[in-house]
Structures are given as structure tokens and as C-alpha cells.
Structure 1
Amino acid sequence: MLRGVNRVLLGLAGLVLLAVGGGALAAGAGLSVPSWWPWDGRRDVLLSTADRERWRDEGWWWPAIIAGLAVLVLLALWLFLAQLRRRRLTEVLVDSGDGAGARLRGRTLEGATAAEAESLDGVERARIRLCGRRREPVMRVRLLLEPFASPAGTLDRLTSEAVAHARESAGLASLPTEARLDAAKHRASRVS
């Protein structure tokens, strides 16, 4: 949910900045702008002469303003690029032995590992997600355990079977795995 709120707020901030910048550009180009717009002509300026000269004797003022604006632009660019970054790994590079290599779809490896993890005794549902780099993937596993399942035993079987098979099939030297185990909700047993 936070990702959605983050994107909506960034989108709204971008639209406001685009509208203000477009309005200032339109006024500077001599196009017609609404009567309530603060700048309304080619000769109008964003900062008056008095505002510009107020800090003229201070040598630090304009470099500080320029540096602050540059930091804001870099921060906004970083946030924009962070929104475009993919969280899920789309493919894993597999060493095929011939030097060319092969590409294994991330969803395929996730699906096969999830199916094998769900076949383990005591696992009701498994969700697998690959993150990281194409040559160094990281697996994130979330298991929903049935009430009778032993977490330690299930985790041992997960690492020795499902994760080991995924690592071997992708030809990886190591496959770091983060596992999260949750218990399934169940009704209390009644004894009569």
C-alpha cells in the first residue's frame, strides 16, 4: 500500500510542478494566462530587483541556493529512477558450459521452486520471489505452514531439497535464501 501512496504523491507533485513551470513558461513566452496568475507578461520577472539585491552582499547566498536546488534535482531524479527499478528478477544467467550461456526466466524458476516447496509435508502454500542480480540472484521464500508442521524440519527440507534443486538447475555456485514461515489459521480442536 505504501508503494501506491508513494507513487500517487510523486505523481501529484510532478503534475503541480509541471503546471507551475508550464504557466511560468507560457507567461514568459507572451501567451495568454489566467488573470489570477502572478506573472502575466514578457517583462514580468520571478524575483524583483529588491528581492535579488537583498542578499547581494552575502557571498554565500547564491552558491547556497544553487547547491540546494541541485541537491533537490538530484534527489527527485533518484526517486524517479527508484520507481522505475524492477524489484523482481526477470531472468537468471545460466552457465551452459559452451561459453555463450543461457537465460532462465525468473518466473519459471520461481514457479518450479514454489511447486516443489508446496509438495513438502506441512506446507500449505509457498510464494517464491527472486531478487538481486542476474548472475547473483537472491531467493525470498514465504511459506504458510499447516498447524501440524514442524518449522525446523520444514526449513531443513526446504533448503536441502527445493532450494538445492533450484541452485543446481540454474548452475549457481550459491543461492542465498531468506525464508519466512507463517502458521495457517485453524480452528481449535474440541475434546468431548
Structure 2
Amino acid sequence: MSRLRNGTNRAALFGVAVALLTAGAALASATGVVRDRLPASLPRLPAGGTWLDGEALGRWRDQGWWPAVVIAALSVGVLLFLWWGWAQVRVGRLRELPLGQQGVTLSGPALAAAMAERAEAVDGVVHARVVLLGRPRRLRARITLVLAAGSRPEAVLRDLARQAVTEARAAAAPRTVAVDARLTVRHHGARRLR
């Protein structure tokens, strides 16, 4: 998940949480049980009062524009929420990859496991982890490789592109497969002498 998307999700969740907590605290302060336990310095709603008295409510009823504005704002809010939810579901780990018209599918985790196995067969790779992301038409493979100490990263990447990535692209054809490779090196800890 990109940093921008991750930050946007956290900001949206934080804003919703603050709004819900504020509204819940305001409503809870109107009940007698909660209001009596709050410190005197905290603001609270009156116990038997209403937010709009009859006179203010009459003034609002005389203006016919506000119900349409409230309904439009709520509709836009619901549409934005649905769009955000669809964006969260749409891009993520690939579950299934349709292979033909007969309903044959390839499991995304199975393809990722096969790619990881082929990547571990590359000379100089100690461990490989593959995650398939994206949509069935445009795949993205995130490959994390742990290299043995002393191995050459350029040779490992070249062999990885020739073997595991080429086979994955052939299996997913005619779809495109973009690859992000992350390399780390296994360091041997220094032995302590006593």
C-alpha cells in the first residue's frame, strides 16, 4: 500500500473517530447518570433541554432551502464513503486469477508460492517471499529476497528476471506483471569468545 493511501486512510479514520467520540460524549453528557459524574468545568448539554426550541425550529421551517442542502450533503458523504470502500477492496492482494472462458481460475497465493519457490532456487538467495497485488488485468508482484552473504545482487536480479519473473509472466499472459524486488543481505553475527 502506498504511503499516500496509507496516510489518507489513517487521516479519514481519525476524523471519523473524533467526530463519533465528540457526538457520543455530547449525547452522553445529557443523561443524568453521566452528567452527575462529570467535573463541573466540562461543558454539558442541559438535562431536559432540546437543541432547537420551538421558535428556532419555526424559523428553520420557514426556509425551504435547507432540507435539500442537508440531503445533498448526506448523499455526497455516502457516495464518498462508498467510493473509498470500493477503492480499499479493489486494490490489494490478488485472490484469484481467471485463466479462460470456462471459469478456470488460478489461486493468487498459489502463484505467489510458486514464484517464491523459483526465486529461492536462484543461486545466492537464502529466502524469498512473494506477494501478488493489483487487479486480475494488471498484476504487481512484490518480491522480497534475503541474499546470502557474499552474493552479488546484480547477478541475483538477472537470474531472477530470467527464471521466476519470466515464468510468472508466461503463466499470467496476456496480462502484464510488474515486479518490485527488495533485497536484503543475511549477516552472520560475530561470534563471542570467552
TM-score norm. by structure 2 comes to 0.63
**Which deviations, in whole Å up to 9, do the C-alpha atoms of 1:102-134 show, x marking residues without a partner?**
211110000011011011111011110111111
**How far is 1:73 from its partner?**
7.0
Q: Which amino acid aligns with 1:110?
A: A
Partner of 2:146: 144
Residue 146 of structure 2 contacts residue 186 of structure 2 at CA under 8 Å; is this kept in 1?
yes
Residue 137 of structure 2 contacts residue 175 of structure 2 at CA under 8 Å; is this kept in 1?
no
Percent identity, aligned pairs only?
33
Confirm or deny that 1:45 pairs with 2:51. yes
Q: Which amino acid aligns with 2:112?
A: E
Equivalent position SS for 1:175: strand
Deviates more, 1:129-138 or 1:164-173: 164-173
The structure in which a higher percent of residues are helix is: 2
Partner of 1:58: none
The one of 125, 128, 131 equivalent to 1:129 is: 131
Q: Which amino acid aligns with 1:121?
A: D
Please identify runs of 4+ aligned residues in structure 1 that moved more than 3 A. 6-15, 46-50, 65-86
Equivalent position SS for 2:32: coil
TM-score norm. by structure 1 comes to 0.63
Structure 1: give runs of 5+ residues left out of the alignment: 28-32, 54-61
Residue 145 of structure 1 contacts residue 183 of structure 1 at CA under 8 Å; is this kept in 2?
yes
Partner of 1:34: 32
Q: Which amino acid aligns with 1:88?
A: R
Report matched runs for 1:73-88 at 5 Å: 87-88=92-93
Partner of 2:113: 111
Q: Which amino acid aligns with 2:181?
A: A
Structure 2: give runs of 5+ residues left out of the alignment: 36-43, 60-65
Label 1:128 to 1:74 Cα distance change in 2 as closer, same or farther (>3 A): same
Label 1:186 to 1:106 Cα distance change in 2 as closer, same or farther (>3 A): same
Q: How large is the Cα RMSD of the aligned pairs?
A: 4.5
Residue 90 of structure 1 contacts residue 106 of structure 1 at CA under 8 Å; is this kept in 2?
yes
**How far is 1:48 from its partner?**
10
Deviates more, 1:168-177 or 1:11-20: 11-20
The one of 157, 160, 167 equivalent to 1:158 is: 160
**How far is 1:186 from its partner?**
1.9
The one of 91, 95, 99 equivalent to 1:94 is: 99
